[in-house]
Structures are given as C-alpha cells and as structure tokens.
Structure 1
Amino acid sequence: MKKLALFLIYLILFTAACGTNNSNHKEDSKLESTEKTFKDDTGNEIKIPKNPKNIAVLHPTYVGALVKFGHKPIAVPEFVNKNKVLNDSTQGIKRIDNTSIEQVTHQKPDLIITTTQDKNIKKLQKIAPTVAFDAEKSNYKDNTQKLATLVNEESKAKQWIKEWDTQMAKDRKELEPVIKEKSISVLQQTPKGTMAFSDHLGRGTEILYDGYRMKQTKALAQATKNKFATPINPENFADYIGDFAVIATNGKQNVPFENTNYWRNLSAVKNKNIIKFDVTITQYNDPISLEKQRDIFYKALMNIK
C-alpha cells in the first residue's frame, strides 16, 4: 500500500510538472508568434512586433515607403508639413516633435523608426522597440526593402523596385541623346553656404546618378565620397559643376551665386542646361517622393535641346 501511495503521489507530481511545462511552452510559443527579429543599421538584432499596428516614424525619409505599401504610421515628424508630397500623402496622421520623448510616448507606439544619429535612442527603446536607419550605410532601395520587411510587405517592395528599374531604363533610352556620358551636379544654397550633394541624398540624386547614370565631376565625386555633401566656393564652381546643374531651391528662394561671373561663365549656364528644383514640393528618397521627382526631372531633361 505504501508503494502504491508513493507511486500515485509521484504520478500526480509528474503530471503537474508536465502541465506546467506545457503551459510555459504555450506561453513561449504565443510570445514567439507575435514577435520577429529585425537587424537594423546599428547591427543590433531587435525583437519587434510581427505585425506592428502603431508605428511612429521620426524622420521624413522613412515615411513614404510605409505609406506606399499601405501602412500609414500613427505619427510622423512635423517636418513633413514643409514637403508637399509627403504632407499630402499623410493627411490625417498626427504630427509630432520628433525630439520630444513625451510626444512620442503619448502616441503609444508599438514600433518606433528613427535614425542612428537620434540622440534619444536609449529613451525611445524604453517606450517601444526602436529600429534605427543610417543613410550612410544604405541606399534608397535598401531602405525600401527594409521598411517593407517591418510590415511584411517584401513582395510589394520587390515589385516596386522592379517597376522602378524598368521605368529608369525606359527613361534613359529616351533621354540618351541629352544625358549619355554627361555630368551633372546638384546644388543648394544653405545657411552654411553653397552645398554640392553626393549621389544618394534625395533632391533627385538617386534618379540622376543611379537611375539615369549621369556622372559627378571628379572633384565632386572625391569630395562626397564619404559624406552627403560638400561646401563649394564660387571660384571653384568650374571644378564641381558638370555639364548640367540642378539648383535645389526652398520655394522661391533667391540664389545669390547666380549673380556671379563664376556662375555665368560655366558651360552648363551658357548651354542653358540648368534645372530649378523646389525641395518644398519633394525632396526625400522614398518611393512616393522619387516618383514625383522622376516626373520633374524627366520632363525638364526632355525639354532641354
């Protein structure tokens, strides 16, 4: 009888333990089913929601891809108000101060998207899983694919990139008499002076260099090899400005360097190969912005004789 009693007690304890293990396993499985791992540009592997519903985006560059693929964020930075294309495509979405932890917290996000340069990353990580992108480490196609991965829309991103590449090839063929083997420079007058941009910082650079395969001058390519832009002085215009020049303006902003002889003596100016481009309409390198920029630059180049 004692042996039987001990056996029954053991059996009860064993069954209870199995029940506990099964319960823990079910809880772990349930947790795993709602999360996935994403490696961002910091190199960290982050546990994020498998199907994020409340995404706060803290830099304009990373808004357009989500919207393009049918996943509007719950909050975007106030900067989008200054950009017509993004402003129009994010109507009804809350604008916030991207530097305000309080405002981000108030939105109750389940995922936050920011840049590696964001000084508040550690604080943001306490609010929700935070993914950081670095424009120096990834180009617009990389960003489009990564952002699509966050919302399980990889197939849509691949399709967009495929269609985009097809459009760029078609444009190149049509524009070949004008752009083949030609150099082009994108300039903007800023508080820091006249800046000449790299080949991957919005303002149409992705289209002109990657899409249309126009070139940078040697001096500009070297100066922007490891940075987004370089300041240039009027006396150096001839080295940095190619066969064509794009002037990125802020609305109807006056561009002082156009009144200098250094500018007037450029072959691009004499040949009327100048394109004015308003960054308040579109500026960034997300799919929505790029599509608008393509319209602008394709038409401008087609009109150049």
Structure 2
Amino acid sequence: MKKLLIPFVLILALVISACGNQTSEKTKNESDKKTDPKTITYLSENGPVKVPANPQRVVVLSSFAGNVMSLGVNVVGVDSWSKMNPRFDNKLKNAQEVTDENLEKIIELNPDLIIGLSNIKNVDKLKEIAPTVTFTYGKVDYLTQHLEIGKLLNKEKEAKTWVDDFKQRAQSAGEKIKAKIGEDTTVSVIENYNKQLYVFGDNWGRGTEILYQEMKLKMPDKVKEMALKDGYYALSSEVLPEYAGDYLIISKYNDQDNSFQTTETFKEIPAVKNKHVFEANANEFYFNDPLTLDYQLEFFKEHFLGR
C-alpha cells in the first residue's frame, strides 16, 4: 500500500502545481489586459490614440471648443473664432488664443490633450507635446461628432444624454413652427463676410442643422441645387433674390460691409417686405456645438414663434 501511496501523492502534487501555474498565468494575462486607469484608448479616424481618462488641460485648435466645454472639460488654449464668440466669454476667460503654428505657446500651456480639424498644420510636432486627435469636418453628422468627442473625453454617456434631449426639443419646436408658417414655407440662411455673400446648405453651422435636419424646414430649390452638396455657395447681392426663401436668416458681422441690405434689390425681396428677416450675431451663431445649438434653438423659437 505504501508503494502505491507514494506515486499517488506525487501525481497529486504535480496536478496542484500545474493548476497553480495556470491560475498564475491567467491572472497575469488578465492583468496585462487591464488599461492604465489614468488613460483610455480612443479609436480615432487615424487609428487608436491613448488619451487621458480625465483630461484637465485641453487645447482646441479648431471648431470643437463648445463641444469640450459643454461636457465640463477645461479648455486652456483655443482658436481665434471661439475666442471671439461672446457666448463663450465666461468659459474661455482664462484660455489663451493659439494656432497650430504657436508650438512654443502650446508647450507653455502644458496640455494633456490637443483636438483639431484634420487640416491643421504641425500634427506630428503637436503629438510630441500631448496626445493629438483630429476630425475631418463633415465626415460624420454634427450630432455624431459630439458623441465622438464625448468618447474621446470619456464622457460618452453625457454626450448621448444631451443629443437625445436636443433632438426631441428641436423636432418639437419644428412641428410648432411648421404649424404656424406652413409645411411648404422656405427658409434661407445667408452671411456676408469679406465683401462676399454666402448661402448655406444643411450642415455648415449658422443654425442650418436645426432648421433643415431637425425641424425639416424647406430650403429654396436654388439653394438646394447650389449649396446642399458643398455646404455653402458664394453669390452676388444681385442674384440674392433667387436664393431667398420665404424667411431669411442673416448671420451678420457688424464689422463687415453690410451695405447690400440697403440696396433696392434687397428691399424688394418678399421676405424683406414681409418682415420675415431674422438677424443673428454671426460671432455667436457660427458653430454647431451644443452650447451654440442650444442658443440657436432658442433664437428660432423666439423669432418664429414669438417666445
């Protein structure tokens, strides 16, 4: 019996040892799979990027400052257009104006994340300063863009909550506006900048996403033909009546030459004669981030519905 017992004990010891090794290896593999709790991996359009899980000092080089601020994340450097936006004054009062060429200034700001459009310069050098993520404008729709920024900032849940609520509010207001002005009533959005008039499609800021995508208001056929694909179309004041809808939204810079509004051509546009022209401050009407979209929605509710 003793001779049989010794091999059995040896076999049992080998089995226990093997199980212990497997458990140890499994624990090690699971540990290796765990992400650094201080970082997350964001799958950008250019591949995976390791970014802070809780960014504290973000530099935004184009377009997305309002998205970042709406999610409660601190912005320390920002593009000139965002810095000029009076609606961003309080949130950006301590942020520095920077460009993609101000590398030394960006280094001084000690950012932990840099965000910009895909056409910014010096991307490789910016990546040496901090994790850098770029987005191609219009590659995804404006609400999906906010969700992507939510993922990047590790705040996807908060971003989705806002998107769902905004769509409901905008679509509800659209139904009321159509009931008041008529299903087939057309709306145009124009802007004058650097002595050039522009009319906009449905995805170029200035409230176009709300009017056309969420509220489903109609744009004039001429606008649809010329501006829908590219997002905007440059035109002369002489042909503006061809692009003017029953309602005309003017995104207006007060420091630009707006003399087109004093011409007889402009005054004879039906929307002008019917007092269906709504003017907005272009500096605060420019973007399509949550802070701006909320303001634009209230602007349209006030002007179309009188509240």
What range is the shorter-chain TM-score in? Answer: 0.7 to 0.9
- Establish whether residue 159 from structure 1 lines up as the match of residue 161 from structure 2: yes
SS class of match (1:71) = coil
Which residue of structure 1 lines up, in the alignment, with residue 44 of structure 2?
40
Counterpart Cα distance in 2 of 1:25 and 1:86: 47
Which residue of structure 1 lines up, in the alignment, with residue 19 of structure 2?
none
SS class of match (2:115) = strand
Counterpart Cα distance in 1 of 2:212 and 2:30: 52
Q: Deviations over 1:18-69 (max 9, x none)?
A: xxx99x979965765444332334x43323233333221112x211122222
1:31-180 pair list within 5 angstroms? 32-41=36-45, 43-59=46-62, 61-175=63-177, 176-178=179-181, 180=183
Q: What residue identity is the alignment partner of 2:225?
A: Q
What is the RMSD of the two structures over their aligned residues, measured on CA atoms? 2.7
Q: Is the contact between residue 250 and residue 279 of structure 2 (CA under 8 Å) also seen in structure 1?
A: yes
Percent sequence identity over matched residues? 25
Unpaired runs of 5+ residues, structure 1, are 1-20
Report deviation, 1:297. Answer: 1.7
Q: Is the contact between residue 97 and residue 103 of structure 1 (CA under 8 Å) also seen in structure 2?
A: no
Q: Is the contact between residue 203 and residue 283 of structure 1 (CA under 8 Å) also seen in structure 2?
A: yes
Q: Is the contact between residue 251 and residue 280 of structure 1 (CA under 8 Å) also seen in structure 2?
A: no
1:287-302 pair list within 5 angstroms? 287-302=290-305
Which residue of structure 1 lines up, in the alignment, with residue 212 of structure 2?
209
Counterpart Cα distance in 1 of 2:105 and 2:216: 42
Report deviation, 1:79. Answer: 3.1
Which residue of structure 1 lines up, in the alignment, with residue 246 of structure 2?
243
Unpaired runs of 5+ residues, structure 2, are 1-24
Name the stretch that deviates more: 192-201 or 251-260: 251-260
Report deviation, 1:100. Answer: 0.9
SS class of match (2:280) = strand
Which residue of structure 2 lines up, in the alignment, with residue 268 of structure 1?
271
Q: Is the contact between residue 150 and residue 156 of structure 2 (CA under 8 Å) also seen in structure 1?
A: yes
Counterpart Cα distance in 2 of 1:221 and 1:197: 9
Q: What residue identity is the alignment partner of 2:41?
A: T
State the TM-score, normalizing by the size of structure 2: 0.82
Report deviation, 1:173. Answer: 2.8
Residues 31 and 211 of structure 1: is their aligned pair in 2 closer, same or farther, counting only changes over 3 Å? closer
SS class of match (2:304) = helix
Counterpart Cα distance in 2 of 1:73 and 1:299: 31
Q: Is the contact between residue 51 and residue 151 of structure 1 (CA under 8 Å) also seen in structure 2?
A: yes
Q: Deviations over 1:166-221 (max 9, x none)?
A: 21122123222215322211111111511112211221112211222112222212
State the TM-score, normalizing by the size of structure 1: 0.83
Name the stretch that deviates more: 45-54 or 61-70: 45-54
**Larger-gyration structure (1/2):** 2
Which residue of structure 1 lines up, in the alignment, with residue 184 of structure 2?
181
Q: Is the contact between residue 195 and residue 257 of structure 2 (CA under 8 Å) also seen in structure 1?
A: no
Report deviation, 1:85. Answer: 0.9
Counterpart Cα distance in 2 of 1:188 and 1:135: 20
Counterpart Cα distance in 1 of 2:265 and 2:174: 31
Q: What residue identity is the alignment partner of 1:88?
A: N
Residues 159 and 167 of structure 1: is their aligned pair in 2 closer, same or farther, counting only changes over 3 Å? same
Counterpart Cα distance in 1 of 2:58 and 2:34: 22
Residues 94 and 72 of structure 1: is their aligned pair in 2 closer, same or farther, counting only changes over 3 Å? same
- Establish whether residue 229 from structure 1 lines up as the match of residue 232 from structure 2: yes
Q: What residue identity is the alignment partner of 1:55?
A: V
Residues 117 and 294 of structure 1: is their aligned pair in 2 closer, same or farther, counting only changes over 3 Å? same
Q: What residue identity is the alignment partner of 2:117?
A: T
- Establish whether residue 255 from structure 1 lines up as the match of residue 263 from structure 2: no
